[in-house]
Structures are given as C-alpha cells and as structure tokens.
Amino acid sequence: MLERRNITTLDGARKAQIVASDSLIFLSGMQPDTTDGDIRDQMRGALANVDAALAEMGEGQDAIFMVHVWIKDMRYFSAMNAVWNDWADPDNPPARTCVAGELLRPDLLVEVVVTACRTVRP
C-alpha cells in the first residue's frame, strides 16, 4: 500500500510531499517556509519541515536512513553544516550527501530530500 500526503503544486510541479509504504517514507524536496534570511535560517526551516513531516507519520529523526542536501553554492557549506550538526542526532546520524546546484527559485538556498523507515504501521 502506498500512502501519499500533502499533495501540492509547489513550484508548478504536482507532487506529494510525503509518500510512504508499509516500510519506507520518502520526503520530497523539503524547503524552508520562507526564504528570508541566510543559509542558516533556510536550513533550520527546511529541517523543521522534515521534523514536521516525520512527526505527521509518527516518526522522528531516528527513522532516517538517508538525506540528500542541495545547496545553491558550496560557499554555504560550512554554515549549512553547522546547522545540520546542531540538528542531527550525534549518536545516530543518518547517511548524507550534499551537492551544490542551481535550485528552481533564485531566493532558495537549500532543499532537503529524506528517506526514512516506517516503524509505526498505518
């Protein structure tokens, strides 16, 4: 069974923000709610939305397998990484990649994609 939640047309693409099976949860491009502020503010916002989406599924950070972080420019890496290190569980960090690339909106500095396991069954 696949469950799709928070279907949106954010940025013009029809997508579900959350897609879950009986065992996996996929969070699509989690962005901050506002692009005001610097990379630290935007990363905090994106991670807050990750936390909220996982909580909606009854899960927390400990369920995360893999995180892909896209940042607008590698010059932001250290600042983004400082926010990441404050957020990530030091005893149970997920696997993570970070790449720089052009993001859809010029004011967007970061986007996060998450794959997690589902321990709470529907």
Token look-up 């709470």 returns: 120
| pTM, rounded to two decimals | 0.92
Tell me the percentage of the chain whose pLDDT exceeds 70.
97
Residue type, 80: M
Query: How many angstroms separate the CA atoms of 78 and 92, rounded?
Result: 21
Task: Tell me the CATH number of domain 3-117, given options 3.30.1330.40, 3.40.50.300, 3.60.40.10, 3.40.50.1980.
Answer: 3.30.1330.40
Q: Please report the pLDDT score of residue 119 as a whole number.
A: 86
Q: State the DSSP H helix or E strand holding residue 54, giving kind and residue range, or none if neither.
A: helix 39-56
The sign of the CA dihedral 67, 72, 75, 80 is: negative
For 3-59, write each residue's pLDDT tens digit: 888 888 877 778 889 899 999 999 999 999 999 999 999 999 999 999 999 999 999
Helix (H, G, I), strand (E, B) or coil at 71: strand
pLDDT tens for 72-92 read 999 999 999 999 999 999 998
Q: What is the average pLDDT across 106-116? A: 97
